[in-house]
């Protein structure tokens, strides 16, 4: 007999997701599983419920929500100290990590994955004292996710991010940040950049090849730095991103690292899995094989 706790964000997808959860519950209970359900109401609810699960006798967790909810569950696993396997049921506005891992979306396929009990231990990242499943970032447009109202995310989905991003571009396009970057692979002082991304998977913000060489089990984080550029170069880089060819552009630095420190002049937010995570300076490092997930994908 297996016990599974379902932790879900009721504002992610609403009726569609609720029906999907109901279908999953029926299939699993028909196959002898004992289930518990927990609906989040505010920030850190998913994290705290996961910590509680780590101290109890749950055999697995199913998390349903956006990248932020998945992040809270992963953080709860780290803080709870027990590597409970997690099934990620994609919902919310953006689900980069679930999409990268090719997690099934239909209730039947998802339940088959859970019942087959095939898991993989993937890496996590840490930005100062914050964990991240998919990406940490700073610079141009990385504050967009913090500015989109939650009701707009629910109603408009990904379009809400595009709308907010278009509003921010005139304010930010020609405002580089000056950084000092220190890692074994790449170090620089007083470099003017538009954006840095430190990623665990290749899919970021819906772009499937933004970190094209990223792997979730290699014990490294993939770093993308877009240097200060003229407008025509920015557009050229954006076009190349669609094909994953931007990493060869002379104004883009791309490398793998286990640890990197970023310092800067000015007031720069850090974004972790779409959520505000403080300000620079920050130290980022990989935590290898620390998050166990259900998956059908070979990695």
Residues catalogued as catalytic: 275
Distance of CA 219 to the CA centre of its chain: 17
Cβ atoms within 10 Å of 58's Cβ, excluding its own: 19
- Token digits of residue 156: 């408009």
3-state secondary structure of 192: strand
- Count the helix, strand and coil residues of the chain and give each as a percent rounded to the nearest 5: 30, 35, 35
- Token digits of residue 38: 């927990």
Radius of gyration of the chain (CA): 19
Strands 259-264 and 252-257: unpaired
Maximum CA extent, the chain: 61
3-state secondary structure of 77: helix
Cβ atoms within 10 Å of 37's Cβ, excluding its own: 14
CB contact burial 186-223 (16+ within 10 A = b; e otherwise): eeeeebebbbbbbbbbbbbbebbbbbbebbbebebbbb
Q: What is the C-alpha to C-alpha distance for residues 145 and 209, in angstroms, rounded to an integer?
A: 20
């Amino acid at each position: 007999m297996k016990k599974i706790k379902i932790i879900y964000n009721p504002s992610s997808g609403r009726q569609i997701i609720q029906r999907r959860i109901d279908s999953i519950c029926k299939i699993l209970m028909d196959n002898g599983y004992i289930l518990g359900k927990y609906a989040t109401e505010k920030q850190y609810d998913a994290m705290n419920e996961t910590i509680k699960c780590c101290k109890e006798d749950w055999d697995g967790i199913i998390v349903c929500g956006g990248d932020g909810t998945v992040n809270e569950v992963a953080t709860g696993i780290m803080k709870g100290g027990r590597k409970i396997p997690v099934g990620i049921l994609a919902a919310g506005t953006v689900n980069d990590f679930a999409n990268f891992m090719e997690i099934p979306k239909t209730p039947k396929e998802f339940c088959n994955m859970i019942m087959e009990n095939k898991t993989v231990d993937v890496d996590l990242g840490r930005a100062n004292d914050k964990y991240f499943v998919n990406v940490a970032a700073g610079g141009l447009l990385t504050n967009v996710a913090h500015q989109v109202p939650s009701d707009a995310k629910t109603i408009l989905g990904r379009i809400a991010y595009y709308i907010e991003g278009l509003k921010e571009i005139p304010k930010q396009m020609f405002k580089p940040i000056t950084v000092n970057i220190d890692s074994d692979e790449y170090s620089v002082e007083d470099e003017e950049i538009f954006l840095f991304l430190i990623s665990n998977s290749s899919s970021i913000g819906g772009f499937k090849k933004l970190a094209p060489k990223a792997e979730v089990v290699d014990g490294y984080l993939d770093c993308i730095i877009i240097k200060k550029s003229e407008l025509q170069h920015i557009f050229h880089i954006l076009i190349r991103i669609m094909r994953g060819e931007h990493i060869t552009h002379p104004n883009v630095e791309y490398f793998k690292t286990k640890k990197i420190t970023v310092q800067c002049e000015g007031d720069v937010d850090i974004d972790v899995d779409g959520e505000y995570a403080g300000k620079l300076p920050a130290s980022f490092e990989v935590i290898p094989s620390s998050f166990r997930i259900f998956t059908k994908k070979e990695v």
